[in-house]
């Protein structure tokens, strides 16, 4: 038995034979003294074919992985229309054959992305490489094939191993024939990882070049959570994984029985169990898991997944789809929480000494009201299609909340004047995630309908310990009495002012605390979709 350690990028356990696919090697030669006009025509023809292919891939991706994941092919199409990129290719076409010019421009652009500071932008190098290979495949007459995934063995599903997989390859794969993805390269930020997660296929990335020397057909078991891959597992390891798989299956079967049942304690105390999501695909997951609503939609992911500010219409369409997907269950949108660990280059935020304590979340929205207004308009417009809540992150002072509520009023007035429909029942809320907000929660409660406690940030600011730093060990105590007291106090103040209170930070899913949270009178707990039924089971036992 041999094992490899990589980075788990999409959770789950899989067992089966490994199938190694290799990239087709294109023999790209530099041919000077070619006819620039002729080469220009060849490039244009290849570009048109690639664009058509991308439209097809977009449709396939929408049906297999959802609209949001399919956006990657829109990004690829945009790259093929990008003037800067086209100029770079054209410059080469004046000197060499089209293949060489495309290959050279691709390398240059991929390198430029690789040098960027932002993780998200760095991961875009893989997208440039993807479109380059597609163009080359058309130029050399190989019709858009790159890695030969079409050669997949017909003997049943396999664990697919490759140096790296491009998003277009990933989405073209027949899901029923893939047990898991293994890649020598790649990162959790890559679109391939995002696609794997939304397709619900376990995946491990960054396994190193050794992966490629594995012989196809080698039996393996893989854990997409821990990132471990066992090759030719011995009986003991196999038994261990079989045990894990079986236990998991039985547990899931038991949880399935809880769908449609209320989240209520044995003595009749009800608590709403909502789901946290970061995109529209997860809304489907939340429905599948019978979440009673969405307690936190981290809307900044829409901004992070975009190369420029998403406009009102784009946002509206996403919010509307999520609201419709939830079929009458409330969706609570958290307004843009960009800054700190969530950065997008186009925001051009100045570097800060302490980004976690910097210009982020509501502070940024109040400094850039146009940004805020666009989002609020999109949110209010979506409210015409189902129950919506809006909450503001990182509130520290009452005036911030007053201003934020003021923008909501202005936006409603504008929409009314423009004759655009929206609901008059949008609930407004405050995320309680700074100690300051806890201390003034009685005053804050007078302006809104609910509180949602963001325990991730509340813990970091209460303990003065960076939530991203894995080195804290026993210093970082999520059950710290100071944090628990903050939570208790917030719920008490909310109830004294007659508003409801929930928790949407990770602590909401900590079943060791569920009973205590119910004692505090918590009205709602919002957790990742996969935790909803587990939490319901816990509540029903109390």
The residues carrying an active-site annotation are 191, 504
Answer with the entry of Mg ion, ligand PEP, none that 455 interacts with (C-beta below 5 to 8 A by kind). Answer: ligand PEP
Closer Cβ to Mg ion, 423 or 456, answer by number: 456
Q: Which is nearer to ligand PEP, 134 or 452 (CB)?
A: 452
Question: Which position has the token pair 């039985």?
Answer: 250
Count other Cβ atoms within 10 Å, centred on residue 227.
18
Distance CA 406, CA 397 (A): 15
Would you say 526 and 275 are in contact if contact means Cβ atoms under 8 Å apart?
A: yes
Stretch that binds ligand PEP, among 130-138, 213-221, 434-442, 455-463 (CB under 6 A): 455-463
Contacts of 200 (CB under 8 A, 6+ apart): 10, 12
Q: How far is the CB of 454 from Mg ion (least distance, A)?
A: 4
Interaction between residue 504 and ligand PEP (CB under 6 A) = yes
Task: Lay out the site mask for Mg ion across 398-437 (x = CB under 5 A, - = otherwise).
Answer: -----------------------------------x----
Stretch of 41-49, 87-95, 197-205, 450-458 contacting ligand PEP, by CB under 6 A = 450-458
Which of residues 108, 306, 443, 456 is near ligand PEP by CB under 6 A?
456
* Cα Rg of the chain, angstroms: 25
Cβ nearer to Mg ion, comparing 186 with 339: 339
**How many CA within 13 A on the CB side of residue 204?**
29
- What is the DSSP secondary-structure string of 378-405? HHHHHGGGS-EEEEETT--SHHHHHHHH
Residue 164 vs 337, nearer CB to ligand PEP = 337
Residue 257 is encoded by which pair of tokens?
A: 């029985």
Contact 207, 186 (CB under 8 A): no
Q: Which stretch binds ligand PEP (CB under 6 A): 33-41, 64-72, 103-111, 452-460?
A: 452-460
The angle formed by the CA atoms of residues 412, 418 and 419, to the nearest 5 degrees, is: 90
Residue 513 interacts, among ligand PEP, Mg ion, none and using kind-specific CB cut-offs from 5 to 8 Å, with: none
Residue 457 makes contact with ligand PEP by CB under 6 A: yes
Identify the residue among 68, 130, 292, 433 touching ligand PEP (CB under 6 A).
433
Using DSSP, state whether 97 is helix, strand or coil: coil
Instruction: Compare residues 298 and 320 and give the one whose CB is closer to ligand PEP.
Output: 298
Closest by CA to 454, choosing from 394, 504, 497, is 504
Q: Tell me how many residues contact ligand PEP (CB under 6 A).
A: 10
Q: Are 276 and 526 in contact (CB under 8 A)?
A: yes
Nearer to ligand PEP, 237 or 456 (CB): 456
Half-sphere exposure of residue 327, counting CA atoms within 13 Å on the CB side? 7
Choice from 454, 502, 528, 529 touching Mg ion (CB under 5 A): 454
**Residue 457 interacts with Mg ion (CB under 5 A)?**
yes
Report the partner that residue 504 touches, choosing among Mg ion, ligand PEP, none (CB closer than 5 to 8 A by kind). ligand PEP
With contacts defined by CB under 5 A, name the span among 8-16, 266-274, 406-414, 452-460 that binds Mg ion.
452-460
Copy the structure tokens of residue 434. Answer: 């700074």
185 binds, among Mg ion, ligand PEP, none (CB under 5 to 8 A by kind): none
Say whether 21 sits in a helix, a strand or coil.
coil
Q: How far is CA 125 from CA 54, 112, 193, in A?
A: 18, 8, 15
Judged by CB under 6 A, the residue of 454, 502, 509, 528 near ligand PEP is: 454
Question: What is the smallest separation between the CB atom of 357 and Mg ion, expressed in angstroms?
Answer: 13
Give the C-alpha separation, 515 to 81, whole Å. Answer: 56
In this complex, which beta carbon is closest to Mg ion, that of residue 454 or of residue 529? 454
Q: How many residues does the chain have?
A: 542
Find the helix or strand (DSSP H, E) in which 103 lies. helix 98-114
Q: Does residue 81 sit in helix, strand or coil?
A: helix
Where on the chain is the footprint of ligand PEP (CB under 6 A)?
296, 298, 337, 433, 454-457, 504-505
Where on the chain is the footprint of Mg ion (CB under 5 A)?
433, 454, 457
């Amino acid at each position: 038995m041999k094992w490899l350690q990589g980075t788990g990028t999409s959770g789950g356990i899989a067992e089966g034979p490994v199938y190694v696919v290799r990239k087709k090697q294109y023999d790209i030669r530099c041919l000077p003294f070619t006819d620039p006009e002729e080469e220009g025509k060849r490039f244009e023809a290849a570009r048109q074919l690639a664009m058509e292919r991308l439209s097809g891939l977009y449709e396939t991706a929408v049906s297999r992985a959802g609209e949001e994941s399919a956006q990657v092919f829109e990004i690829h199409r945009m790259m093929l229309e990008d003037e800067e990129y086209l100029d770079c290719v054209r410059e080469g076409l004046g000197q060499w054959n089209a293949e060489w010019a495309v290959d050279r421009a691709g390398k240059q652009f991929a390198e430029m992305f690789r040098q960027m500071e932002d993780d998200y932008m760095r991961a875009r190098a893989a997208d440039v490489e993807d479109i380059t290979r597609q163009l080359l495949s058309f130029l050399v007459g190989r019709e858009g094939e790159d890695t030969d995934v079409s050669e997949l063995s017909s003997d049943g599903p396999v664990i697919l191993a490759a140096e790296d997989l491009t998003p277009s390859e990933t989405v073209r794969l027949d899901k029923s024939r893939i047990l898991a993805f293994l890649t020598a390269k790649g990162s959790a930020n890559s679109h391939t990882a995002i696609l794997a997660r939304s397709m619900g296929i376990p995946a491990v990335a960054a396994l190193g070049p050794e992966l490629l020397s594995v012989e196809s057909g080698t039996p393996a078991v893989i854990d997409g959570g821990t990132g471990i891959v066992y090759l030719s597992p011995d009986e003991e390891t196999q038994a261990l994984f079989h045990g894990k798989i079986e236990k998991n299956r039985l547990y899931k079967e038991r949880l399935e029985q809880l769908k449609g049942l209320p989240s209520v304690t044995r003595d009749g105390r009800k608590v709403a169990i909502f789901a946290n999501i970061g995109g529209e695909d997860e809304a489907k997951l939340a429905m599948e898991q019978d979440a009673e609503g969405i307690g936190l939609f981290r809307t900044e992911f829409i901004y992070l997944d975009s190369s420029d500010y998403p406009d009102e219409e784009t946002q509206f369409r996403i919010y509307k789809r999520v609201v419709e997907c939830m079929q009458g269950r409330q969706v609570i949108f958290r307004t843009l929480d960009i800054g700190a660990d969530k950065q997008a280059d186009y925001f051009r935020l100045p570097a800060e000494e302490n980004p976690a304590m910097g210009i982020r979340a509501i502070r940024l929205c109040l400094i850039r009201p146009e940004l805020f207004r666009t989002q609020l308009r999109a949110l209010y417009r979506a409210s015409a299609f189902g129950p919506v809540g809006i909450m503001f992150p990182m509130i520290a002072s009452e005036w911030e909340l007053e201003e934020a509520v003021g923008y909501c009023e202005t936006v409603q007035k504008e929409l009314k004047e423009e004759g655009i429909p929206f609901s008059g029942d949008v609930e407004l809320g405050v995320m309680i995630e700074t100690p300051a907000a806890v201390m003034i929660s009685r005053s804050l409660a007078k302006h809104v309908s609910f509180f949602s406690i963001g325990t991730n940030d509340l813990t970091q600011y209460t303990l003065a310990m960076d939530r991203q730093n894995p080195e804290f060990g026993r210093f970082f105590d999520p059950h710290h009495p100071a944090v628990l007291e903050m939570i208790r106090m917030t719920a008490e103040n909310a109830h004294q002012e007659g508003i409801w209170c929930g928790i949407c930070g990770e602590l909401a899913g900590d079943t060791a605390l569920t009973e205590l949270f119910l004692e505090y009178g918590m009205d709602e707990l919002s957790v990742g979709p996969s935790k909803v039924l587990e939490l319901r089971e816990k509540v029903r036992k109390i």
